Amino acid sequence: MPRHCATNEFSLREDTALFLFSLYLQTKTFIQGTMRIEIFTRRSQLPELMEGSATHSVHMFGVLEKSNGCKPYMLVAYDEDGKEIGHLLITKRRDIRLFPPVLSYWYSILGEGIYREGCNNREEIFSMFMEKVFDMFDFRHAFIEVQNIEDSRFAYGTFNRHNFIPVRDLRMYISLHSKSPTERLTRSYRAHIRKAESNGVTYKRATTAGEISAGLQLLKNYYMSKTRRTLPGKKALQAMLYNDDGTLSDKASLFIVQYRGKTIGSSICLYDRERANLAYSCGLRKRYPMQYPGIMAIWAALTDAHRNGYPHFEFLEVRNISRLHANFVNTLLNYGGKQVGTLRWYHFKWNWINKILRAIYV
């Protein structure tokens, strides 16, 4: 090939590359020019936001604000008219353990966020949210964790582009719209509940200060010995169950199980538009084995969700449970739960770790 032909060919390729790169910059500028993202760090500064998932609500922001070792960030996307398109709640977490000695910081994202109805560019907005997260990422924080994604395909390209590591996770839920909770119970659990009720066990939603205090104390004593599952502090739990004016919140409820006037079981349930989420549960099953307090604590939240018309009931405690706690998962299957596979995503501040782990898991 003549020399001048090769030069012309190279020039043509260079011009094409420059044209495509300028087109990319124009598209990126157009997207960011018609949309802006603001970050809020205090509940008093939050504007009125759309309702949706409980994990991205203003109520949950207030709970995390009062939790020790947590700092919430609310990322809100606006269009060119100043109207909200969506928002995402991100939590900066700190973990201090004496044995083994650990001091770690990380960012936690629970779910893809809340978006305007009919929004068809959710993944683009989520990608912009993630860029803001990386802007906040500093040298002290070990990793970014993203979990509770409903669809495993959501933002898959964004996670791959930033070298996130996918780890298999588990979700478990019950559909309440087709069958009643009693119909989904296994024969053994139906017998356990019937026997507990015949022995004088009662369960209800806690409404008084004394009932709530007794239920929270029981939960605190139970989770104190758990290494893989933690309970928020008292102030955070109070903020979860109460509104700012002191009335009971409709975003969360505490249920208690009583036997001869003593509280022997307790559970906390969070509510979305179409889903009730069991966050915490416990029971004095060793002290009262024939009253089945642990089973009844979950049963109280499940039957209340069905009574109030929630079509789905999800067990949040299933997430992040290792194989050592597989018997807990098997226990929940007795309520008629369905297991669904999902992914958790991690990104470490050391890129060489991300590359090694991606070579293993991807």
Q: Which structural domain, as residue segments, surrounds residue 65?
A: 33-162
d(Cα 283, Cα 261) in Å, to the nearest integer?
15
- CA dihedral (234, 240, 245, 249) in degrees, to 10, reads -140
pLDDT of residue 119: 85
Looking at 98, 131, 162, the residue that finishes a domain is 162
Residues with Cβ within 8 Å of residue 52, at least 6 apart in sequence: 114, 272, 273
User: Which residues are within 8 A (CB) of 36 and not within 5 positions of it... i.e. 6 or more apart?
Assistant: 77, 78
Asked if 179 and 261 sit in the same domain, the reply is yes
If asked whether residues 132 and 105 sit together in one domain, one would say: yes
Judge if 207 and 289 occupy the same domain.
yes
- Asked if residue 235 belongs to a domain, the reply is yes
In a domain, 142, yes or no: yes
- Identify whether 242 is part of a domain: yes
User: pTM of the full predicted structure?
Assistant: 0.81
Closest CA to 177 of 362, 309, 318, 329: 309
Predicted local confidence at residue 15, as pLDDT: 52
Q: Are residues 68 and 183 in the same domain?
A: no
CATH code of 74's domain: 3.40.630
**Residue indicated by tokens 């839920």:** 173
**3-state DSSP assignment of residue 61:** helix
Asked if residue 309 lies in contact with residue 284, where contact means CB atoms within 8 angstroms, the answer is: no
Judge contact between 123 and 154, C-beta under 8 A.
yes
Instruction: Judge contact between 188 and 359, C-beta under 8 A.
Output: no
Domain count, the chain: 2
Strands 262-271 and 84-97, by their bridges, are unpaired
- Per-residue model confidence as pLDDT tens for the chain (362 residues): 444 444 444 344 545 544 444 444 444 434 455 788 999 999 888 999 998 888 898 989 988 988 888 899 999 999 888 899 999 999 998 876 665 566 778 899 988 899 998 888 899 999 999 998 888 877 677 889 998 888 888 888 899 999 999 988 878 888 888 888 999 999 999 999 999 999 999 999 999 999 999 999 999 998 887 755 678 888 889 889 998 888 998 889 999 999 999 999 999 999 987 889 999 999 998 999 999 999 999 999 999 999 999 999 988 876 555 444 567 777 888 888 888 888 889 999 888 999 999 988 77
CA 46 – CA 142 distance, rounded (Å): 28
The closest of 96, 127, 97 to 109, measured between CA atoms, is: 127
Same domain, 95 and 218: no
Using CA atoms, how far residue 111 sits from 35, 52, 150, 299, in Å, is: 21, 11, 7, 26
Instruction: Please tell me whether residues 144 and 190 are part of one structural domain.
Output: no
pLDDT in tens, 112-145: 899 998 888 899 999 999 998 888 877 677 889 9
Domain assignment present for residue 10? The answer is no
pLDDT tens profile 303-317: 999 999 999 998 887
Given a contact cutoff of 8 angstroms between Cβ atoms, the answer to whether 249 and 240 are in contact is yes
In a domain, 167, yes or no: no
> Of the candidates 40, 95, 35, which has an alpha carbon nearest to the alpha carbon of residue 70?
95
CA atoms of 98 and 342, how far apart (whole Å): 32
> Which residue carries 């997207």 as its tokens?
31
What's the chain's Rg over C-alpha atoms? 24
Looking at this protein, which amino acid is placed at residue 136?
Answer: M
Half-sphere exposure of 47 (CA within 13 A, CB side): 13
At 153, is the secondary structure helix, strand, or coil? coil
Output the pLDDT for position 258.
96
Query: Are residues 231 and 94 located together in one domain of the fold?
Result: no
Tokens of 3: 């020399």
Tokens 């094409």 belong to which residue?
16
101, amino acid identity? P
Tokens of 235: 């102030």
Q: Are residues 115 and 228 in the same domain?
A: no
Of 115, 141, 162, the one marking the end of a domain is: 162
Clarify whether residues 308 and 181 are in a common domain.
yes
Are residue 201 and residue 85 in the same domain, yes or no? Answer: no
What is the CATH classification number for the domain harbouring 255? 3.40.630.30
